Chains A and B, each alone.
Chain A
Amino acid sequence: MIGPGDYVALSVILFVIGGVGVLIRRNAIIIFMCVELMLNAVNLAFVSFARLHGNLDGQVIAFFVMVVAAAEVVVGLAILTSIFRSRRSASVDDANLLKY
């Protein structure tokens, strides 16, 4: 029998995969995907808890997260495109001008 705890466990696994991806990968697109993975892991947790508590609050928040994630992807990809145009690279380590 699959219970709410399993969903939360899956959510945690997905979140950790996403987090590690953000920390160790250099390709900006992969990092983006990992961020999306983390957001969706959170969404899964929200929906699971909504189901567990029998109300709709978590589901509503999940929708909000999706909307925000979609907007964020738009902006992020636009930045990425312009960086790629100027540097011919999608590696985040090449975009390190803003420092001490």
Chain B
Amino acid sequence: MTGSVAGAPSAAVMTTVSAVGVQRAAWLLLAFPVAGAIILLLGGKRSNSWGHLVGVAMPLASFVYGLIAFIAMLGYPASQRSRDLTLYTWIAVARFKVNIGLLLDPLSICFVLLITGVGSLIFIFAIGYMANDPERRRFFAYMNLFLAAMLLLVLSDNFLALYAGWEGVGLASYLLIGFWQYKPEAATAAKKAFIANRVGDAGLSIAIMLMFATFGTVSFTGVFGAVHGASHGIVTALGLLMLLGACGKSAQLPLQSWLLDAMEGPTPVSALIHAATMVTAGVYLIVRSNPIFNLTPDARLAVAIVGAVTLLFGAIIACAKDDIKKSLAGSTMSQIGYMFLAAGLGPAGYVFAIAQLLAHGFFKAGLFLTAGSVKHEMKDEVDMRRFGGIGAVMPLTFGAFTCAYLAIIGVPPFSAFFTKDPIIDQAFAKGGTSGALLGTAALIGAGLTTFYMTRMLLMTFTGDRRWDEGQHPHEAPPVMTWPAILLAIGALGAGAFLMLGGWLLDFLAPVTGRPPSSPGLFTPAGIGALALLVAAVILAWFMYGRREVPVTAPAGSPVTVAARKELYGNAINESLLMRPGQWLTRLSVYFDNRGVDGLVNTLAAAMGGTSGRVRRIENGFVRSYALLMFLGAALLVGALLLVRI
């Protein structure tokens, strides 16, 4: 399938050509994890002893192939790096044709490498983390399914197959968040994640229907080629519907509430959801659909506002949570908010959104794996107020955490310095009131990020030991520390690797276009962010480093209380959606019982009562039957006579 993707004036024109050579085997990327899931699910208990090895080998194999395909792609000239591989025709009805095809281009290969690379490390970590779980094989089967769905999502060359992967990710996350389904909280969290995602999925599915109704096709090339001809209203509607879908998957306001509860799942799942799969899907969707968003500043502004609000929202929650995993979850919301903000800036921000996403994949996976190690060694304790001083007994984990910490807060020259500061810059560069507001939000968010991360570091790894009795943590086994260390190294270097010299800018330019202006390294906003960083570190040290951390949480200010309750996100959902919904169902039930059923029952009772009386005529006396016949005959004769006259 060949065709041209005509981007907006600022985006480069990119042609998609058929895949050749080693890239013709791109289906292997999907086949490995699918095979892993099938083998482990069908293998049953027989595969218990070796299941985890298969479960790890499959994503590793995908990663190796992804590297090969990536190297092959680097060999092509920049304008020919978008390669399409049509596997088979899925649906062919009259003019409507959907091919299952894989699109290997610079954007999708970035995701493939992130998903399989970071994913593989998380899988290796999970061998140790889940070692004592009798259901480890099933766990790896679902994880493989998760990976396969996410790869389908990012590799598909049309929106319908993307949607299939999108739903697959939702299913796999449901299975994994509720993996310990005997815990009621886990089962509830899984349902919550699924339902919140369904709301977003509805948006994306309507967007796809709208595409089909408007353009008659759902392929990327077809839609992006025709989108210029569509009316402004349709393009904006498409953008907003996709934003709704992206909000669901990426846990952005107003569909954010599932992400914190999703911490009920095993920690490797949290790492996978937050770093490599799932929450990145929304960012992918928006960046992939950049030809649509380029045409609609309104939808772009909505994306940026959602991102800016969520990045503050998540950061505030992260500052107040004592549960280390929930604090990290708030951090993820916040970081994804940065990506949305960047994507909402249009061509000026797409590439920075992806840079932030890739760097985030490393440091967030590293943070989750180290937090998971701590949780593992502390007998599933997650309350940071009962940690303290763990750095001394788990030095490797502490080191890895510190590296990821330096990366996420943006200390130069580590990751976020290269990926987050440009987002703040570009937000200010947008100009106008909206630019100033978005930039300020991003700047404050950077300060908050430093604060909550420093708080987490101080409360967990330094200070007095506030452990419960019977805690004897020691360093996690190598199978758990090494993935974290590798991720920490990646976290330190990813930003510089991607952004120094503009490598990622050049690499992604054929897909996302080139930012009109590229900020330098030490801009006023960047220096402001650094000043805030120092201030936040000092503040956090005064609050949690110098002072003793109380084991029971103090009452705290109203803001703290609100943040602990996730800024009333659940309360709002419950009072605005759940309770009216319950009332509606009760009303429906009442109407059904009294109204509909009442009518039917009354009718039936009336019929029954009448016939009960009428049947008394059948009294068994022949004489009365004869009389009735006689009367009937007389009536008949009378009627005939009447008619004749």
* Interface 9-residue window, one of A18-26, A55-63, A64-72: A18-26
Q: Do B622 and A99 touch across chains, with their CB atoms under 8 A apart?
A: no
Does any Cβ of B come within 8 Å of A2's Cβ?
A: no
Chain B contact-residue range equals: 10 to 19
Chain A contact-residue range equals: 10 to 19
Q: Which of A20-44 contact B (CB under 8 A)?
A: 22-24, 26, 31
Q: Do A95 and B622 touch across chains, with their CB atoms under 8 A apart?
A: yes
Nearest Cβ in chain A — how far from B636, in angstroms?
A: 15
The answer, among B615, B616, B620, B627, for a CB contact under 8 Å with A98, is B620
CA distance A26 to B626 in the complex (A): 12
Does any Cβ of B come within 8 Å of A96's Cβ?
A: yes
Q: Do A93 and B615 touch across chains, with their CB atoms under 8 A apart?
A: no
Does any Cβ of B come within 8 Å of A1's Cβ?
A: no
CA distance A99 to B443 in the complex (A): 92
Nearest Cβ in chain A — how far from B467, in angstroms?
A: 84
Nearest Cβ in chain B — how far from A77, in angstroms?
A: 16
Q: Do B618 and A100 touch across chains, with their CB atoms under 8 A apart?
A: yes
Q: Do A96 and B621 touch across chains, with their CB atoms under 8 A apart?
A: yes
Q: Do B619 and A99 touch across chains, with their CB atoms under 8 A apart?
A: yes
Query: Residues of B contacting A92 with CB < 8 Å?
Result: 621-623
Q: Do A23 and B623 touch across chains, with their CB atoms under 8 A apart?
A: yes
CA distance A35 to B616 in the complex (A): 27
Does any Cβ of A come within 8 Å of B630's Cβ?
A: yes
Q: Do B618 and A22 touch across chains, with their CB atoms under 8 A apart?
A: no
Q: Do B616 and A19 touch across chains, with their CB atoms under 8 A apart?
A: no
CA distance A19 to B623 in the complex (A): 11
Query: Residues of B contacting A93 with CB < 8 Å?
Result: 621-623
Q: Do A100 and B615 touch across chains, with their CB atoms under 8 A apart?
A: yes
Query: Residues of B contacting A99 with CB < 8 Å?
Result: 618-620
CA distance A95 to B622 in the complex (A): 8
Query: Residues of A contacting B627 with CB < 8 Å?
Result: 23
CA distance A21 to B27 in the complex (A): 98
Nearest Cβ in chain B — how far from A6, in angstroms?
A: 22
Query: Residues of B contacting A97 with CB < 8 Å?
Result: 620
Write out, one digit per residue, whether chain A residues 68-100 have a CB within 8 A of any chain B CB (1) or not (0): 000000000000000000000000110111111
User: Which partner residue on chain B sits nearest A96 by CB separation?
Assistant: B620
Nearest Cβ in chain A — how far from B608, in angstroms?
A: 14
Nearest Cβ in chain B — how far from A41, in angstroms?
A: 15
Q: Do A26 and B623 touch across chains, with their CB atoms under 8 A apart?
A: yes
User: Which partner residue on chain A sits nearest B615 by CB separation?
Assistant: A100
Q: Which residues of A are at the interface with B, using a C-beta cutoff of 8 A?
A: 19, 22-24, 26, 31, 92-93, 95-100
16 A-B residue pairs with Cβ-Cβ distance under 8 Å, sorted by A, are A23-B623, A23-B626, A23-B627, A23-B630, A26-B623, A31-B622, A92-B622, A93-B621, A95-B620, A95-B622, A96-B619, A96-B621, A96-B622, A99-B619, A100-B616, A100-B620
10 A-B pairs besides A99-B618, A100-B615, A100-B619 with CB distance below 8 A are: A19-B630, A23-B623, A26-B623, A31-B622, A93-B623, A95-B620, A96-B621, A100-B616, A100-B618, A100-B620
